[in-house]
Structure 1
Amino acid sequence: MQTSIRPGQIWLDTEGKRIQAHAGSIFYENDTFYWYGENKEKTTPGSGIWHWGVRCYSSKDLYNWQDEGLIIPPVENDPASSLHPANYMDRPHIIFNKNTGKYICFLKIMEKDSTQTLTIMSADQLLGPYMMIKTKFRPLNMSAGDFDLAVARDGKAYYYFERVHSELICADLTADYTGVTGFYSTHFPNFYPPYVREAPAYFTRRNLHYLVTSGTTSYNPNPSEVACSRSFHGPFEILGNPHVNDPSNTSFCSQISSVFKHPKKKDLYIALADRWITDEEGMISYDVLADAYDRYFNPDRQDEPVTFTGSSYNVNENTHKADYVWLPFRFDGKMAYLDWKDEWRIEDYD
């Protein structure tokens, strides 16, 4: 039995196996927490396997997780399927539509031509089975990268996504949550990586809408940024890096995938993050990394050579052993901070 959360440490399920719910989120219903994410159990060097579906776990305490199996299995026999194990499926997000009674899952797919699309699926139960609704979908005819989904109290839903290597988009979803209406707003415009903001994680607190984002350096960690607004569509005020005393500028060597508000606590918001790189020898200084990305993408510097070295650039082949960094936010006015904790307990919060 586990009685605390230990960020960055190996986390095992109730059967003693590594938890495989990467780039994950938590869904709460019927007094049970459900943690789902990318299943990387077979993603090892030379395997050619990017994912093995979406796996889900259940818990009553957020410490001990029971494996509920694959809620979205891979499609092994069709290389053209977005769910084929060799295809780049990332960052599942599930929301519930009260009007239709359907659970809607969005999946980001990196296509072979480097464009990024959506696969959208639907189910009658959280644990599936999920049926394909759309594949190779380009919302607003854009290449759509990392994303998060948000549902307002009145049931209206919003889709935050990175317009690849450009800016962040907030798009209104249709009433059934399976498409976009065409109304959208743009945020955090930047010209190229590593400055483009990706991996948006949305939450709301005290009538403010928050987005936590990362820079764009592939699987390599970089500084996070928190911003807030009085509406879903902004404008967003950039508040700064939430990670306190992080001289490495790597968000404690992690990337946040979602933020979960504990339903039974007054003010406990938990940042769920992945530590994709577990080999310290594979780490590269963020300053060196940022300069390399700038030289590669900056049109005024592309004549300068770029040499990417270190195992961290091949981390996507070894993510079966990636760990998790879950930390509670601390608020000071509008600002949301994340302090490093070797160990912490849900019970210590009101």
Structure 2
Amino acid sequence: MYDSIRPGQTWLDTNGNRIHAHAGSLLHEDGTYYWYGENKERTKPGSGIWTWGIRCYSSTDLYNWTDLGLIIPPVLDDPTSPLHPSQLIDRPHIVRNPRTGKYVCWLKIMGAGEEQLCTVLTADSLTGPYEIVRTGFSPLGMYAGDFDLVVDPVDGKGYYYFERVHSELICADLTADFTDVTGYYSTHFPRRHPPLVREAPAHFRRDGKHYLITSGTTWYYPNPSEVAVADTYHGPFTVLGDPHPPTATRTSFRSQITSVFQHPTQPDLYIALADRWLPRLSEEESDHHDAFHAHYSAKAAGLRPEPMPLPDADTSIADYVWLPIRFDGDTPVIEWHDEWRIEDVTTHRPAEADAAVAVPR
């Protein structure tokens, strides 16, 4: 039994197995937390398996997690299915539509080519079964990379933040059923090329302000995070800088933030959920920002770039770095803790409209 969160240490479920819920998020319903994400248990070098379905766990304390199994299992008999392990399923995000009562899951499918497409599934229950309702599509005609789904807690409207691959970040309005985009969108943080392009957007609200924490584009290698703030979902956003303390290598504690979770009973407790994809790399070995910059700068100039240092990654042993967010005025700050407890984090503000609206089930 755990009684604390220990960032960067191997986290086991109640059966004693390593937790596999990567690049996902948390939902809270009826006093229970649900943690879902990519199941990487079979993603070993040379396996040809990127993700073996989407796994989910439940908990009542955020420390001890019970394995609920694969809520979206792999499709093994059809290599062309977006759910086949060879199709590079990435970044699951699940939200509940307050109008339809449906759970809507978006997946990024990288496939074998250069394009990155979307697959959307729906279910009547958080734990499934899920049915594919859209697949192989490019939102707004764009290749869509890492993303986040957001539901407004007041009016129930949905938003889709995604990386327009190797270009900029997009905020797009979702249709009423959350399975497509309406066509209305805004663009943010345009960059010429990786590693400067922002990916892995994680949205949260506080005091009526909208925050986005993003990552640079350096494959599984960690890099400096960046936080920006706006008064609306569509911005404009003002960049505040790296929420992590300055270090020589600036690798966000060797992790990549995938989402931010607002605690349901401590309204000013926000938890940054991050993956440490390459736990065997030291802080110094993790820093490849300059190599990526040189590679893509040469490519943009029409030169032949040096090959990128991309060894086979054993993400079957990836760990998690969960840390509370402290606020210096309106500026988020993420500090390191070897160990911390939900009960020991002090928050000062009362519950407010940022908390999710309870929707009848």
CA contact (8 A) 2:83 2:89 kept: yes
The 1:305–1:165 alpha-carbon spacing in structure 2 relative to 1, beyond 3 Å, is: closer
SS in 2 for 1:297: helix
CA drift of 1:245 comes to 4.0
CA drift of 1:282 comes to 9.6
CA contact (8 A) 2:38 2:52 kept: yes
Residue 35, structure 1, aligned to residue 31, structure 2:
no
Q: Give the partner amino acid of 1:198.
A: E
- In 2, the alpha carbon distance for the partners of 1:281 and 1:259 equals 25
Q: Give the partner amino acid of 1:52.
A: W
Q: Give the partner amino acid of 1:331.
A: F
- In 2, the alpha carbon distance for the partners of 1:106 and 1:207 equals 26
> What is the CA RMSD across the aligned residues, in angstroms?
1.4
Q: Give the partner amino acid of 2:61.
A: D
CA drift of 1:300 comes to 5.7
CA contact (8 A) 2:295 2:307 kept: no
SS in 2 for 1:86: helix
- In 2, the alpha carbon distance for the partners of 1:17 and 1:201 equals 28
The 1:190–1:2 alpha-carbon spacing in structure 2 relative to 1, beyond 3 Å, is: same
- In 2, the alpha carbon distance for the partners of 1:156 and 1:282 equals 41
Residue 193, structure 1, aligned to residue 189, structure 2:
no
Structural mapping, 1:256-275, within 5 Å: 256-275=257-276
Q: Unpaired runs of 5+ in structure 2?
A: 347-361
SS in 1 for 2:311: helix
Q: Unpaired runs of 5+ in structure 1?
A: none
CA contact (8 A) 1:277 1:283 kept: no
- In 2, the alpha carbon distance for the partners of 1:336 and 1:51 equals 32
SS in 2 for 1:258: strand
SS in 2 for 1:7: coil
- In 2, the alpha carbon distance for the partners of 1:190 and 1:64 equals 41
TM-score normalised over the length of structure 1: 0.95
Task: Find runs of 4+ consecutive structure 1 residues off by over 6 angstroms.
Answer: none
- In 2, the alpha carbon distance for the partners of 1:100 and 1:300 equals 45
TM-score normalised over the length of structure 2: 0.93
Which residue pairs with 1:127 in the alignment?
A: 127
Residue 69, structure 1, aligned to residue 65, structure 2:
no
Deviations 1:19-52 (A, max 9, x none): 0000120010011000000000111122111111
Structural mapping, 1:192-231, within 5 Å: 192-231=193-232
- In 2, the alpha carbon distance for the partners of 1:225 and 1:150 equals 19
Structural mapping, 1:256-295, within 5 Å: 256-280=257-281, 284=285, 286=287, 289-295=288-294
Which residue pairs with 1:11 in the alignment?
A: 11
- In 2, the alpha carbon distance for the partners of 1:62 and 1:341 equals 16
Q: Give the partner amino acid of 2:312.
A: N
Structural mapping, 1:91-170, within 5 Å: 91-152=91-152, 153-170=154-171
CA drift of 1:308 comes to 3.3
CA contact (8 A) 2:8 2:321 kept: yes
Q: Give the partner amino acid of 2:83.
A: L
- In 2, the alpha carbon distance for the partners of 1:234 and 1:202 equals 12
- In 2, the alpha carbon distance for the partners of 1:187 and 1:296 equals 24
The 1:116–1:305 alpha-carbon spacing in structure 2 relative to 1, beyond 3 Å, is: closer
CA drift of 1:114 comes to 1.5
- In 2, the alpha carbon distance for the partners of 1:300 and 1:164 equals 15
Which residue pairs with 1:347 in the alignment?
A: 343
Q: Give the partner amino acid of 1:206.
A: D
Residue 331, structure 1, aligned to residue 330, structure 2:
no
- In 2, the alpha carbon distance for the partners of 1:212 and 1:256 equals 8
- In 1, the alpha carbon distance for the partners of 2:38 and 2:280 equals 20
- In 2, the alpha carbon distance for the partners of 1:65 and 1:123 equals 22
CA drift of 1:272 comes to 0.3
CA drift of 1:113 comes to 1.6
CA contact (8 A) 2:190 2:197 kept: yes
Q: Give the partner amino acid of 1:290.
A: H
CA contact (8 A) 1:295 1:302 kept: no
Of the three residues 296, 302, 311, the one matched with 1:313 is 311
- In 2, the alpha carbon distance for the partners of 1:264 and 1:237 equals 29
CA drift of 1:325 comes to 0.2
Q: Give the partner amino acid of 1:205.
A: R
SS in 1 for 2:258: strand
CA contact (8 A) 1:149 1:160 kept: yes
CA contact (8 A) 1:171 1:183 kept: yes
Deviations 1:141-178 (A, max 9, x none): 00000000111120110000000000000000000000
